[in-house]
Amino acid sequence: MGISATGVVDHSALKVNQTGIVATVLVAFIGSAFYRPLLVLIPLLAVVLLVGTFAPQLALFKQFYFKVLKPRGIVKPRPVQDRPEPHNFAQGMGGVVLAIASVFLLPLPVVGLALALLVAVLAFVNVAFGFCLGCQIYYQLGRTGLIKAASPTRSSGTTGPF
Amino acid sequence: MSSQFWALAAVGAVVLAAAGLELVRSRLARARALGVAVAPAADPYILYFTGENCSVCRTHQEPALAKLAGVRIDKVDAIAERELADRFHVYTLPTTVVMSPQGRSLHVNYGYAPANKLERQLADARGAGLRASATA
């Protein structure tokens, strides 16, 4: 999570990732009302997000974008001069919250489902409005010195707090 | 099914609370930002706070500002000019501030402001300028 040079981040990959999160949580949330084993999608999504955070080449939704959607022209690339760290941090945070949600799914399903739904809501807000709460937390932690955050000067430009 | 219902209710409550807090925060920020004085000018003008990688600034706000013919737009990098951004409580990009000719902020728009909204605010600022010059 150290300071790195400004790179180019394909924001379409981020959008596909966030859409994948929203879709998976919604399938788990609605589907589990009729077929409880679908709840397994939540811990699986947690694993996907956490693995993707530390090994971007294994990020399932992003790879789906890079290997399938982008080459076939289904989703057009949108390269933006940006830093990937805040987005990775946000994804990792989503993974952690989903992992916590997974722990609660069996003993306290309301808490587990609520946490998973909260991740989906935040992913949706990011897709729809470009506001990334995880990125905001990343900068706040960087400002307090808890992490070595990259300067927000070159970070994602969003409609939300910078 | 009841788990889903209560989870939905809990998340709904959290989202509503967050939206309410954000509304209060932005209203407070707007109230504090109004009336802040900067340099006077001959006509109303716009302070346009932006950032290097604010994509909405480029895709939406700048085309809207380009429609305002003959209006002075002072582009401000919100990060580089942190002090000025703080005076207007800029935590959102883009932010546009319509300034009166006397250099006082009359309208603050956090987030994208369409051209017609800015036109209305500029008309109001021109009126305020005329009233101020009449009373002077």
CA dihedral for B63, B66, B71, B73, sign (positive or negative): positive
Between CA B11 and CA B18 the distance in angstroms is 10
- Average pLDDT score, chain B: 86
Q: Which residue has the tokens 């925060």?
A: B25
pLDDT at A154: 38
List per-residue pLDDT tens for chain A, 162 residues long.
Answer: 333 445 788 889 999 999 999 999 999 999 999 999 999 999 999 999 999 999 988 999 999 999 999 999 999 998 876 788 889 999 999 999 999 999 999 999 999 999 999 999 999 999 988 788 898 888 888 878 777 765 544 333 343 334
pLDDT at A153: 41
Distance from CA of B131 to the nearest CA of A (A): 35
Q: What is the mean pLDDT of residues B55-76?
A: 91
Within a domain: B47: yes
For B134, the enclosing helix (H) or strand (E) is helix B115-135
Within a domain: B68: yes
Identify the residue among A29, A113, A162 best suited for mutation to test binding to B, counting B beta carbons within 10 A and taking the highest: A162
* In chain B, residues 20-49 whose CB comes closer than 8 Å to chain A: none
Between CA A136 and CA A131 the distance in angstroms is 9
Q: What 3 state SS string does A17-62 have?
A: HHHHHHHHHHHHHHHHHHCHHHHHHHHHHHHHHHHHHHCHHHCHHH
Name the residue facing B51 among A33, A80, A157 (closest C-beta).
A157
Within a domain: B38: yes
Between CA A55 and CA A75 the distance in angstroms is 23
Within a domain: B22: no
pLDDT tops 80 at residue B49: yes
Q: What is the mean pLDDT of residues B81-87?
A: 88
Within a domain: B13: no
Quick check: A81 and B53 CB within 8 A? yes
Q: What count of residues does chain B have? A: 136
Within a domain: B7: no
Quick check: B8 and A117 CB within 8 A? yes
pLDDT at B58: 87
**Tokens of residue B111, six digits:** 């987030």
Within a domain: B9: no
CATH number at residue B72: 3.40.30.10
Within a domain: B65: yes
Instruction: Give Rg (Cα) of chain B.
Output: 18
Nearest Cα to Cα of residue A87 among A156, A158, A160, A2: A156
- Of residues B30 and A59, more confidence is placed in A59
ipTM score for this prediction: 0.70
Identify the residue among B2, B11, B25, B91 best suited for mutation to test binding to A, counting A beta carbons within 10 A and taking the highest: B11
Domain range for B72: 34-135
C-beta separation of A114 from B13 below 8 A: no
CB neighbour class for B2 (10 Å; exposed up to 12, middle 13-18, buried from 19): exposed
Say if B17 is an interface residue toward chain A (CB within 8 Å).
no
| pTM, rounded to two decimals | 0.70
Name the residue facing B10 among A11, A114, A130 (closest C-beta).
A114
The mean-pLDDT minimum among A115-129, A140-154, B94-108, B117-131 falls in A140-154
Between CA A98 and CA A148 the distance in angstroms is 24
Quick check: A117 and B11 CB within 8 A? yes
Identify the residue among A117, A131, A140 best suited for mutation to test binding to B, counting B beta carbons within 10 A and taking the highest: A117
- What is the end-to-end Cα distance of chain A in Å, rounded? 18
pLDDT tops 80 at residue B6: yes
pLDDT at A141: 85
Task: Classify strands B45-50 and B72-77 as parallel, antiparallel or unpaired.
Answer: parallel
pLDDT at A44: 97
Give the count of domains, chain B.
Answer: 1
pLDDT at B130: 65
Nearest Cα to Cα of residue B61 among A14, A42, A130: A130
Quick check: B54 and A81 CB within 8 A? no
